[in-house]
Chains A and B, each alone.
Chain A
């Protein structure tokens, strides 16, 4: 797998003022799953993404708490309506203190 923490963001190439924009984002992450020994879950600090934060022009527009039940290399998609051009920033936090960021610029055509 490619390097951990690489964030990809895809937005439509053509955005007009007033459009609802669908953002597709993906982060490279192993998203460790719970191990079991003798039928019991092993107690340890599992490595997975537990928080997703989205900011637009510095203003938080989405925050999500996630669990290890999400797949490896998790994919998140959401929509929002930008009222002005700006910078979209998506931040992923994992349980081992990792912080992975990706940005995409939204321009109106």
Chain B
């Protein structure tokens, strides 16, 4: 995996190439250019609209069910993946250390506060009450033994980029998650962390000794994965005549088994008719109303179930998405740029959690969750059944949820930005076998 430095360099080269291409190409060629704005065809909760409340406060419309319902904040002030969002990352800043006396007990409470960090999501400290306990960042169990100056630790917490420009650590002070006074308490607490560390009582608490999840068995067994039944239920929609007097079955002869065999291995792909990259979900939102007259809005049950039915016909077949045609290559590069773009209040990029390396998250625990590696494949089992939600989630809802608690307003489920990011992720799965619907926690 590329180091952050290389990534930024690549971005500049890419931008230069892009402007050079713009200068010399004729108007007919749109290869390499960001696609025209797309009007969302998602269900109202999935559109990512920001509405102004009667009290003047802004609020994003989100899904009514958990976990989305549990994030009441609006993050309009922070930048997103949207291509027309050209705001820079929050500038690196410093603050003088507040002249309050640090209280280690209060600092420990703040360190564990789930409403703010929690710091323990990434850094391990001793204590049976410490949960969630993750290990993405350095283990701080004996941090006090380093005898670092208070001022240094404070600035490190306030905005770590002062010392490490490509750090994964969010700029807690710069974006106002922690007040300077609160950071002083945390500094005081960190100074108290001295060895030797008491022996661990619970091996599952410590992310370094915790057992990795083993999965939920055969995901294609209908007695095991409820999503298989939902997908089979889409057969009713397949043969139902829409307002236009036609059903899917009328044009796609031989049932989904025959007509949709291998079709899903090529998605997401650039669709000329709509001049954008589309996943099966995106394509159904326009294809169904144009042919049968039935609405299949993104994130609706019909859309998800039909997507699973179509994708199931490619199970066991290797993915082969196109990333070489000029349009697909441009989209792939933009998807890649999104993957490394820092967004939201926490100033995180997808790459922070899903690539390997020191301070990077893949194969490590973010709190209780083991983070997946982009190279192992993040998309080939989507849409999937989420045992924690009792619901089918497609890749888009997964993306919408990834950043929401980290301080970014979600984009519409069928946004071009997400489609191109999905293309970038799926390219890692090329040659790997599809297995839809998956089953995950």
Contact = CB atoms under 8 A, between A and B. Distances in A.
Q: Is the interface of B mostly helix, strand, loop or mixed?
A: helix
A50 interface: no
B365 to A, nearest CB: 31
A75 B221 CA distance: 12
A2 B235 contact: yes
B331 to A, nearest CB: 36
Interface string A1-15: 110000010100000
Interface in A17-60: 24-26, 28
Contacts of B235: 2
Q: Which of A2, A10, A75 has the most CB of B within 10 A?
A: A2
Contacts of A75: 223
Interface residue tally on B, bucketed by range = 10 to 19
B36 to A, nearest CB: 39
B260 interface: no
A10 B232 contact: no
Contact of A1 (B223, B224, B229): B229
Contacts of B223: 8, 10, 24-26, 75, 77
Nearest to A9: B223
Interface residue tally on A, bucketed by range = 10 to 19
Contacts of A2: 229, 232-233, 235
Contacts of B229: 1-2, 26, 28, 73
Nearest to A77: B223
A10 B233 CA distance: 20
Contacts of B226: 73
Interface string B332-351: 00000000000000000000
A2 B223 CA distance: 13
B431 interface: no
10 contacts: A1-B229, A1-B230, A2-B233, A2-B235, A10-B223, A24-B223, A24-B224, A73-B226, A73-B229, A75-B223
Given A8-B222, A26-B229, A77-B223, 20 more contacts: A1-B229, A1-B230, A1-B233, A2-B229, A2-B232, A2-B233, A2-B235, A8-B223, A10-B221, A10-B223, A10-B224, A24-B221, A24-B224, A25-B223, A26-B222, A26-B223, A28-B229, A73-B226, A73-B229, A75-B223
Interface of B: 221-224, 226, 229-230, 232-233, 235
